[in-house]
Amino acid sequence: MIELSEAQEIVLKSISQLPATKTPLSGCDGLVSYGAIYAGESIPPFDNTAVDGFALSFESVQAGNKEFEIVGTIAAGDPGDIPIGGSTTVRIMTGAPMPEGADCVLMVEDSVVTEKDGKSFLTFSKRPREFENVRKAGSDIVQGQLLFPSNTQLFAGHLGVLASLGISEITAFPRARVGIISTGSELTDTPGPLQHGQIRDSNRPMLFSLVKEMGAIPMDLGTIKDDRESLRDGFLKAASSCDVLLSSGGVSVGDFDYTKQILDELSNGTMSWMQIAIRPAKPFAFGHIGSTPVFGLPGNPVSSAVSFELLARPAIRKMMGHQKLFRTVVPAVAKTDIHRRADGKIHFVRVTANLEMNGKIYIDPQSGQSSHLLYSMANSNALAIVPDGTGYMAGDEVSTLILRML
């Protein structure tokens, strides 16, 4: 058996980033940027008002002027070329440019407007302060500043900022196209009753969802029967249609595991067949068919999901330009005992993790932990990392890998 970290290293050292490409902003959500991005403009681009009200010269307010003739209105989108000063003001709407001579805005709620001889006048009881309610040009972003360093994952806020600067495409790492196949003559997709000995394929839909969730592009490439010709054809076709291939089943030592022979042949002997000191997900294979990395995940559904998490997901993240490759591990408190026996392996125990009112994360192990018991995977959102030994007692602190938000 080899350590998990060694297996991860074997995989990651032979995975390269996909070439970054120019991508329209609308397709960039969740992608990782390539190269630093600088601001070509300032935001806001001009001084403007934060409220609906009246634009005033602070100097004339300070001089004791109490009544101002309203000489016009500036709406958002107007150029705002109605200079004011002395005892004049303009109505101004949120987002409209400050007119020449104005450097503060009185909120409409604090104003009193009176009519005299067909003219309108503003008075107020509460004097505005200098620059009150003015959003200065460049107060958010200054032209030329570094916006986002290389390898920034772009979320809604980043896309909003880029759009505000008129940036319509950026150079980013693409979403990896991840082919997913299942191997096994027992697997069926046919609806209706199962023949005795058949089971339905749960790995493909599960891996499809995990791939989609991480922002890559899952490609359902079907099921391959356990015979040499189907496996050879299936793997060759699959590997040529994607950036990275996930296959499940056939990586342990069953009599009909031709997968091993075929993958050895197709990969020119680059496949490493590993027994990793973890439970579940001990058997694992990795290599390349042509230039396509191929992950041979175990068939047992829980093992397949766990080896995806620990080995495939970090590699796909690396391809997509991420610098943080691994899931977050947090200290959590065991709610009940977590028993195990010593077997030389690290156990990844399916748990429900909850953030409680005292700010601590508590974990509850699911009852079925065998690698064929997928139901307990559905009900867990984290994996407790239980090192070799006899486990933990209730109240112990346990390093826990978070799979989904708490």
Kindly identify the residues of this chain, within the stretch 250-269, that bind Mg ion according to CB under 5 A: 250
Query: Is 111 or 303 the residue whose CB approaches ligand AMP more closely?
Result: 303
- From the list Mg ion, ligand AMP, none, pick the one residue 33 interacts with, judged by a Cβ distance below 5 to 8 Å according to partner type: none
| Cβ at position 184, least distance to ligand AMP in Å | 5
d(CA 336, CA 176): 40
369 contacts 376 by C-beta, under 8 angstroms:
yes
Interface pattern 184-223 for Mg ion (x via CB under 5 A): x---------------------------------------
Per-residue burial over 147-181, b = 16 or more CB atoms within 10 Å of its CB, e = otherwise: bbeebbbbeeebbebbeebebeebebbbbbbbbbb
Kindly identify the residues of this chain, within the stretch 108-167, that bind Mg ion according to CB under 5 A: none
Site residues, ligand AMP (CB under 6 A):
182, 184, 186-187, 199, 201-204, 248-252, 254, 298-301
Query: Is 96 or 306 the residue whose CB approaches Mg ion more closely?
Result: 306
Q: Is 249 in the site for Mg ion (CB under 5 A)?
A: yes
- From the list ligand AMP, Mg ion, none, pick the one residue 350 interacts with, judged by a Cβ distance below 5 to 8 Å according to partner type: none
Query: Is 306 or 398 the residue whose CB approaches Mg ion more closely?
Result: 306
Q: Is 283 in the site for Mg ion (CB under 5 A)?
A: no
Alpha-carbon distance values, 106 to 52, 59, 120, 139 (Å): 8, 14, 16, 20
Q: Is 280 in the site for Mg ion (CB under 5 A)?
A: no
- 103 CB-near residues (< 8 Å, 6+ apart): 56, 57, 58, 130, 131, 134
Give φ, ψ of 118 to 5 degrees: 75, 5
Query: Is 204 or 313 the residue whose CB approaches ligand AMP more closely?
Result: 204
SS3 category, 165: coil
102 contacts 57 by C-beta, under 8 angstroms:
yes
Q: Is 101 in the site for Mg ion (CB under 5 A)?
A: no
89 contacts 56 by C-beta, under 8 angstroms:
yes
- From the list ligand AMP, Mg ion, none, pick the one residue 400 interacts with, judged by a Cβ distance below 5 to 8 Å according to partner type: none
Query: Is 92 or 251 the residue whose CB approaches ligand AMP more closely?
Result: 251
Give residues in contact with Mg ion (CB under 5 A): 184, 249-250, 299
